[in-house]
Each structure stands twice: as structure tokens, then as C-alpha cells.
Chain A
Amino acid sequence: MEKSGIVSYGSYIPKYRIKPDEIARIWGEDPENIRNGIYILSKSVPAPDEDVATISVEAARTALQRGGLKGSEIEAMYIGSESHPYAVKPTATIVSSAIGTNFDLFSADYEFACKAGTAGMQNVLAMVKSGMIRMGMAIGSDTSQGAPGDVLEYSASAGGTAMIIGRENVAAEIKATLSVTSDTPDFWRREGQPYPTHGERFTGEPAYFKHVVSAGKKMMEKMKTKPEDYDYAVFHQPNGKFPMRAAKMLGFNEEQYKEGLLTPLIGNTYSGAMMVGLSAILDVAKDGDRILAVSFGSGAGSDAFHIEVNSEIEKLHSRGAITVRKMLEKTKFLDYGMYAKFKKKLVLGDDVE
């Protein structure tokens, strides 16, 4: 049977960072408490001229470079985010133009909190498998917002990942994918509201853990695998603690989850979160490696993927496109004042912007 799966991939994380200690200083919280509570040491902050379109373009270009591909070879473009720059005008149109796709293109923006990007991956995979297209791109990207002083302000960050999925030169075969969905009021944002609201009691057990762990278990049942059959496991990572606990609940150890756990360094990139982790794993993966990847979107649902890496991965590594770890080497730390200016928490007059 013909293989289909990841042909190339690329991520982008903005260069700026803020530490939880600096946010805690402003709101009179104990930084030690925050650091231990959510296990986030710093989070990425977009520059004032960055948004989901620009982050997606950078990730998409890196993916094309790594795959030795041209934009005109991409036949579908799906972008998942909860911070699309426009309420009406698809980010996919801007990103497609910036990478030079053809006029003949399937595209749309997706929304499902933090799993909209992986929903796009499933969509592109299905199109590839059905023969509708040869190759398409799915992007998960966000510049998420936490209300000033809210617990989410310590984690909400920015970043994105583009996955090119096709059936030729597949480097990481997606052998199976499945999803779980339920109506859960754990986190939402109403139209026109700048910041999200979270149903405190719902965020942990009935939302994140129920969906992530169920999807992970179902995948292992479907593939008749056990945790030890995987070299890597990566989960949605709203903070540093949840994915570690989910990993343990499913029977995975630190060796398996540490490579894809980036939230402690960059914060929660929402739609980008699991996909950036997967990207970091693919940066180091070798022929024969198996990966279990599970995303989570509030509202709520999870998408699980069973991925098997083959020797084509070496070609991707050889093209020298920037890796996630390399990107994290160059950072600039902001104080809260600069962060508030960058994130537009300080509002300028109507005549200015």
C-alpha cells in the first residue's frame, strides 16, 4: 500500500521572550508558585509587526526549504488558529500568496481552539489518501492572548508549524489518525471579546486529560501498540505540567516525551503547541522511529496520530533548514512594559493605529 504522511515540516517561534517572574512582579504573585505550578520558565512574545499570517508564512517557507519544494507544488492550504488577523478574510489566502501557490488551490481557515492545526493535518491527509491532491499544507499558528493578571497571561505565547503532507517522498508516514469530541465548557472566547474565559473547574480532568488520554489509548488499541513501542510521544502542552502528567497516565516516560516538550521554554503556542513539539522531534528522528502525537482543543476534542519515520528524513535534515532547537538559541528578553507595548495591551489613539 502506498504511504502517505509528512513530506516536510517547518516551525517559527518569535524571538522575544518574557519570564513568568516578570509578569508575577507586576501582579503581586509569588514567582516561585507560578513557576512550579505551571512549569513555564519563559514564553515567546510576537514582535509588534508579527501575527498569525506572518508566523505561518515563516513556518511555511521553512517547510518548503526543508523539503526542497516550491509553493506551486502545494495544492491545499488549511490554517488553524484562534487568532486569525481578520474575523472575515482567510489567513490561508495571504499565506498562499506569500509562498506562491497556484490559483488552483483548496484552502480555508480552521478553528477548534488549540487543535485546529491538527484538524487541518487530518483534512490534508484525507485529501491525499483519496487522490484529490498530491500534496498539501496544514498550519497551526497562534498569537494567543491572556487577560492581564489572568493565569493564562503566564503561558499564552506565539508560534506556529507547517506540515506538508503528501504521498511521494514521505519522511514520516501517518499510519493512523483518530479523534474524540465532546461538548465541554472548559475555555471559550465570545465574538468581539479580546480575551478568553476559562471554566476553572473544567480545564483539567474533564477537558484536557479526558480527551488526550482517551485519544492516546484509542490509538494504541487501534494500532495494537504499547507505550514502549514508541520512541517519542508528544501532547498538547498548555503548560509544562499537563503533558507530563498525561504522558505518565498513558505509560510514557521522560525519555519519550522530553524532546517534544517545549512549553517550558516558549509557553503555550495554542494551535502551534503539539505541532511545534512534533517538529522538534522530527528534527532529531531517525529511520524506524515511532511517534505518538496527540493534540487537544478546548471545547473540547483531541486528534491522535501514529507516525513512523523512515530514511527519507535524512534528506530533510541534510537541507539545513532551521531546527526548532536552533531557533530557540537566539532570544531577547522583555520587561513587562515592553511586553505590554508589543502585545498591544497599551492602547494607542485611533489616529495612530
Chain B
Amino acid sequence: MGELSRMWRESPNRYRLLGKKCGNCGRKYFPAREICPVCHRDSIGKMSDFELSGNGEIFTYTIVHEAPPAFSRQKPYVLALIKLEDGPMITGQVVDVDPDEIEVGKKVRSVFRKIAQDGKSGIIFYGYKFTLA
């Protein structure tokens, strides 16, 4: 049940790319942080929810050939480090592309997809992935 409650707690963040913005310096964080690592004490009480646009570009990437069982239908697939236009860098799968279409610097946007499911009777996990813009 630990996994289920963590998944549930984090779902608004994962569903909507909901991070935090520091009211002191304006930096944006994803995953959400309660304290700004730059402003420290000055950011206390000033961190507010911020929904990232999901637009960004590929900073670097890897093609995953040895996939976990849940990705059997999708391999080989692209896992990329994405520099979001709002600032944060995040890791995400890039879908609906052939690995040879991927290049560093290409523009991407976030999409809502199934991430995994807990067997045939368990919960379905959803969240963000990316696709070429």
C-alpha cells in the first residue's frame, strides 16, 4: 500500500507537472521543493505552486533496449533529459518517435500517458511523457 499512497500523493504533480516557484528569486522547481536551495531561509513561506508549461528541448538522451517488463510493448524507447523553458531539467520518456528521429536540441512538449499498471487487477499509473513538438 506504500507505493499506492505515494503515487496518490504525488499524482497532481505527475499529472500536471506541478512544481514550486520561489517567491524570493523566481526560480522554478520540479519536483516540488519546500525550500529554495538558493535563497534558503529567505524562501520560507514564499514557495508557491507553479504549473510548468511542459515545453522544452532535448538536452541529452538514451535509447533503452533492455527495458523493464512493463515497457515490453514500447522498446526500444527514448529516455531524455529535457530542459524545460520554465527552467527545470527533467527526465522523461519521449513517445511516438522512432529512435533515429531524436536529436539533441529538438523541441518537445509534454503529453499525458500511462506510465505503468500494477498487474491485471491493480491501479493504473498515469503521468507526463514527452513528444516532439
A180→B92 CA distance, assembly (Å):
47
Q: Is the CB of A351 within 8 A of B113?
A: no
Q: B70 touching A353 by the CB < 8 A rule?
A: yes
How far, in Å, is B104 (CB) from chain A's closest CB? 21
Enumerate chain A residues within 8 angstroms of B12, measured Cβ to Cβ.
97, 100
B42 contacts the other chain (CB 8 A): no
Given contacts A49-B95, A98-B15, 19 further A-B contacts (CB under 8 A): A16-B96, A47-B95, A48-B73, A53-B114, A53-B126, A57-B112, A94-B15, A94-B126, A98-B16, A100-B16, A344-B73, A348-B69, A348-B73, A350-B119, A351-B69, A352-B69, A353-B72, A353-B117, A353-B119
Q: Which residue of A lies closest to B16 (CB)?
A: A100
**Contacts A51-B114, A97-B12; is A86 near B120 (CB within 8 Å)?**
no
Contacts known (A54-B114, A98-B15); A49 close to B74, Cβ less than 8 A: yes
Chain A residue at minimum C-beta to C-beta distance from B97: A332
Are A98 and B112 in contact (CB-based, < 8 A)? yes
How far apart are A148's CB and chain B's nearest CB, in angstroms? 17
* B72 in contact with A47 (CB, 8 Å): no
B103 interface residue per 8 A CB criterion: no
Is B11 interfacial (CB-CB < 8 Å)? yes
Q: How far is the CA of A291 from the CA of B61 in the complex (A)?
A: 47
Cβ A85 vs Cβ B70 within 8 A? no
Interface residues, chain B, with chain A CB atoms under 8 Å away: 11-12, 15-16, 51, 69-70, 72-74, 95-96, 98, 111-115, 117, 119-120, 124, 126, 129
Nearest opposing residue in chain A for B123, CB measure: A89
The answer for the CA separation of A98 and B51 in the assembled complex, in Å, is 11
Number of A interface residues in the complex (CB < 8 A): 28
Chain B residues in 8 Å Cβ range of A100: 12, 16, 51
CB–CB B124/A49 < 8 A: no
Q: Does A187 contact B (CB under 8 A)?
A: no
Given contacts A97-B12, A100-B16, A332-B96, contact A49 B114 (CB under 8 A): yes
Tell me which residues from 87 to 121 in chain A have a Cβ below 8 Å from any Cβ of chain B. 94, 97-100
How far is it, in angstroms, between the C-alpha of A342 and the C-alpha of B75 when the chains are bound? Answer: 11
Q: Is A289 an interface residue (CB 8 A)?
A: no
Across the interface, which residues of A come within 8 angstroms of B69, CB to CB? 348, 351-353
Given A54-B114, A98-B112, A352-B72 contact (CB < 8 Å): yes
* Chain A contacts for B124, CB-based, 8 A: 51, 53, 85-86
**Any B CB within 8 A of the CB of A3:** no
State which residues 296-353 of A face B: CB under 8 Å: 332, 341-342, 344, 348, 350-353
CA distance A341 to B74 in the complex (A): 9
- Min CB distance, A329 to chain B, in Å? 13
Contact B15 A47 (CB under 8 A): no
Chain B residues lying within 8 Å of A54, measured Cβ to Cβ, are: 111-114, 126
Judge if A50 is at the interface, Cβ distance under 8 Å. Answer: yes
- Could you tell me if A48 and B74 are in contact, using CB atoms closer than 8 angstroms? yes
Provide the residues of chain B in CB contact with A94, threshold 8 Å.
15, 126
Contacts of B111 in A (CB 8 A): 54, 58
What sequence of 0s and 1s flags, for each residue 45-65 of chain A, a beta carbon within 8 Å of any chain B beta carbon? Answer: 001111101100110010000
Question: In the docked arrangement, what's the CA distance between A53 and B127, Å?
Answer: 11
A286 in contact (CB, < 8 A): no
Check: A15 CB closer than 8 A to any chain B CB.
yes
